[in-house]
Structure 1
Amino acid sequence: MPAPFVLELCGFREGRPNTSDKKDPLSQELGRAFFELLGVPQDKSAPKTVDREWSAAMVADLAKQIALAAPHLGVRAERRLGEFEQYAHLNALKALAEDASPAVATALIRLERATHSVGVEPAQLVDELKEALAVADGRRRALVDLLGDESPLRLDVAVDRSVPSTPTDAPDVPNHLVAGFSLKWTLRTDRLQDPRTQGAKMATMRRGRMPHFAAVTMEPRPYMLGRLGRGTGDLDCVYHLALSPLIEAVQAVLTKNKDRIRQRDMFMRMVEQRRLLDYDDLVAYVATL
C-alpha cells in the first residue's frame, strides 16, 4: 500500500506531476498514469517544499506505526552520523580542530602574575612557554589541515536506540544507530550519487555493526530506479512510497516498443529480487530492529 502521507505530497506543477522531469516526455506520461492510479486530483497543486514536508510526515508516521512493536526505537529527522555510537569517533577531529589559544592565554597571564608575586622573573619563562605552545599549535593545525574536515551527508531520517550495556547513570552516551534513510522525492543524475556516497561512507567509517541503510523515493522511471538500486552494494535496497500503483502504471505505459519493454522487464526484476520494496516493507523491517 502507498505510504499514508503520500497523497499530501503529490500534486501538479505547470501541468505535470511533481514526480516528473519536465524535459522527459516518458517521465510525464508515466507520471500521469501513476497519479491517476494513486487518485491525485488533476487540479491539486504540488507542495512548494515537498522534501521538508515529506521528512516531517515520514518521521511522524514511522514513529506511530512502530510504537507498539518497537517502543525502544526513536525516529528523528536530520541527524549527523557523529551523534551515534558507531560514528562518535568522527567528532574527534572537530575536537582536535578547536582553538585552545584563549584558554592558554588566560593561563599564561595567571602564571605571569603568580611568578611576579613571588619575586621570580617571569618574562623569559613566559616567552619560552609561548614559543613552545606556538610550535605545538602549528603542528596541530598542520595535522588538521592534512586530515581535512570531510564528513558524510546528514541522514534525512534516522532510527536509533539506547545502548543496552551502558550504565543508566553514564553521561552523554550516544544512541546506537539501527537504520538510516536518504530521501529523494525524484531522481536526477546529480542526485543519484548522494545515497551511494552516504552508504559507502557509513560502511567504511563505522565502528561496530552497520546500520540498515536505504534510499526512499517517489521516482516513477524504471531507468532511474535501476541506476540507484541495481547492485552497487552501497544501499541495502530502495524503498518506494507507492510501489503497487507504480507497478500498474509501468505495466500499462511501458509496452509500445522494445526499449520500453526492456525498461519494464528490468523494473519487474528489481521488484522480484527485492531490490525495490514498498513503504510497508520499510515499516515492517524497522519494527524488527
Structure 2
Amino acid sequence: MTAATFGAKVTANTSVQVNKRSRVSTVIHAILVLIVVGVLLGIPFWLLVVTAGKSQAEAIVPNMSLPSHWQLLENFKTVLVDGKMLQAFLGSVLVTVPSVFLALLLGSMASWILARRATKPMVVVYVLGISGLILPPAVVTVMMLLKMIGLAGTAQGMVGVYVGIYMSTVIFFVTGFIRTIPVSLEESARMDGAKPLRVFFTIILPLLGPTLATATILVTLYIWNDVFYSLFILSGKMDLLPLNLYNVASAGLYLNNWHLIFAYIILMSLPLLIIFAVAQRKIISGITGGAVK
C-alpha cells in the first residue's frame, strides 16, 4: 500500500466519522427542540382539557391532575345553554366573516397597486399602509367618529374598524408576493381588452391563494379573539364570544368556575382549529412563499 493510498483511506474514514457525528448532532438537536415545544404547548393544553372536564369542587384550584369523574360534555352543555354562548357565537360570525372578507379584498387590491407603482409617493403610501402593524388606532377618536355617523355599538361599525385595522396585515403579506408575478400576464390581458378590475379578478386574485390563506388565518385569529376594541366600540350593545366571556367571567355563572371558563375557551377555539386543519397546507406554503421573497 502506497503512502498516497493510505492517506486517502484515512481521509475517507475521517470524513465518514465527521458525517456520523453531524447526523447524531442534528438528531439530538431535533429531539431537544421537540421536547421544548412539547412542554411549552402540551402543558397548557393538558391543563385546559383536564380542568374543563372537572367539577367545580375539583377545578376550584386548577392543576394538572385528572378529574375523578369526567364531565366535559356536561360543562359544554352548561356553557352553551346558560352562558348564552350561541348568541355570542352568531355575533362573532356576523362580525368576523365580513371583516375578513373586506380586509382581504380591499387589502389585495391596494397591494396590487402598490406592487406595480414603483415610485417614491407609492413607497410612502406603502409605509403608511403597513404602519397599522405597529401603531395602534386611537380608540377615542374612532369611537367619536362612529357616534357622529351613527354606527357606534353596531356590527357595521365594528366591521369597519376591523377592516381599517387589519388591512395593513394583508398589504404586508400580499404586496411582496404580487411583485413576483410577471407583469407580462397583465399586459397580455390588457392587449386583449381586459379592464383593470377584470385583470385583477381573473389573473391576480387566483394566484394569491396561498398568501391569502395565510393572511386569512391571521386576521381571523386577531378578530375572533379580540376583546379590547369590541369592549369600547360595542359598549355592551352586542355580544361577541371573547367579549361575552370577559363580561361574565367575574360574575354570575362563571364566578370562580374555572371548569366552565376553560370549557368556554375550548368551544371558542374549535372553529379556528377547524379552519387551520383544513387550510394548513396553503397557510404553510403562503408563509414560506413570503419568506423567500
TM-score (structure 1 length as normaliser): 0.22
Highest RCO, 1 vs 2 (Cα 8 Å, sep ≥ 6): 2
Structure with higher helix content: 2
Structure with higher strand content: 1
TM-score (structure 2 length as normaliser): 0.22
